Amino acid sequence: MKKIIATIFASLSLAAVAAGGGDYKPNDPANTRLEDKASLQRGATLYMNYCMGCHGLEFSRYKRMAQDLNIQEDVLAENLIFDGSKPGDLMKTAMPNKSAEIWFGAAPPDLSLIARYRGNKWLYNYLRAFYKDETRPYGVNNTVFPDVGMPHVLEPLQGMQYLSEEGELALITEGALTPEEYDVAIRDLVNFLDYVGEPAKVKRHSLGVYVLLFILVFFVLAYFLKKEYWKDIH
């Protein structure tokens, strides 16, 4: 009996860790909103410019993404496709897996399902947690994913951080964005990855509003119908 109770408590605390997002630092809420199309569009642009070279999104097609995010086809072709793919193509990376393993020690994984696997909060903090570490092959480490093989590809935007002995991250060189702007950019990027992980979610959210409106209208109709039926019965 004691054993069973102990197991229940152990699994409860595990669930709490999973729900709370672990004890990594930083540990800020992602606050992403799938309803925010402008944010999703900015996130897609960031992704195509800074991530697609190494990480594919092999379950998505350019065309479907453009439709879901209200991106015009000419904008898609001119600003978001860099490798000559056609709109109907799957979003594969040009990075060959074998060379990537040699260059980075680990092949950059496809990120189609990363938001479902890691969660938005983890991603939001991971992409803000690179810091200078000369002992690493690419000169950076990450507080959320220790000894990660990925270079700090967003350094031009964020700048470079260092990790103090107290475990705090602070900027040592500035990037093109202020820290606040960088957080917004990462929120957009994570929002986009959330969409990619489950494209139907965008539709489902807007469908939900219509369903609720329908129920509301139906309720009003039903109410008056009831009044009509019962008006002669006393």
Distance (Å, whole) CA 206 – CA 202 = 7
Residues 90-110 as b/e (b if ≥16 CB within 10 A, e otherwise) read ebebebeeeebeebbeebbee
149 binds ligand HEC (CB under 6 A): yes
- Least Å from the CB of residue 97 to ligand HEC: 11
Tokens of 27: 């540990």
Least distance in angstroms from the C-beta of 223 to ligand HEC? 50
Closest approach, Cβ 167 to ligand HEC, in A, equals 21
Q: Which of 30, 44, 54, 91 binds ligand HEC (CB under 6 A)?
A: 54
Nearer to ligand HEC, 34 or 196 (CB): 196
Site for ligand HEC in 187-216 (CB under 6 A): 189
Quick count: other Cβ atoms within 10 Å of Cβ 189?
24
Region 23-52 residues binding ligand HEC, contact defined as CB under 6 A: 50-51
Of the listed pieces 67-75, 82-90, 106-114, 224-232, which binds ligand HEC according to CB under 6 A? 106-114
Residue numbers 110-139 binding ligand HEC by CB under 6 A: 111, 114, 118, 123, 126-127
Q: What is the C-alpha separation between 138 and 132, in angstroms, rounded?
A: 9
Q: Considering beta carbons, is residue 49 or 72 the nearer one to ligand HEC? A: 49
Q: Is 91 in the site for ligand HEC (CB under 6 A)?
A: no
Peptide bond into 179 cis (omega under 30): no
- Spell 209-228 as b/e; 16+ CB within 10 A means b: eeeeeeeeeeeeeeeeeeee
> Can you tell me the distance from the alpha carbon of 25 to that of 156, in angstroms, rounded to the nearest whole number?
22
Q: Is 53 in the site for ligand HEC (CB under 6 A)?
A: yes
Q: Whole-angstrom Cα distance, residue 219 to residue 215?
A: 6
Query: Under the criterion CB under 6 A, does residue 186 sit at the interface with ligand HEC?
Result: no
Residue 104 interacting with ligand HEC (CB under 6 A):
yes
User: Which of 123, 94, 87 lies closest to 108, judged by CA?
Assistant: 94
- The footprint of ligand HEC (CB under 6 A) covers 50-51, 53-55, 104, 106, 108-109, 111, 114, 118, 123, 126-127, 148-151, 153-154, 189
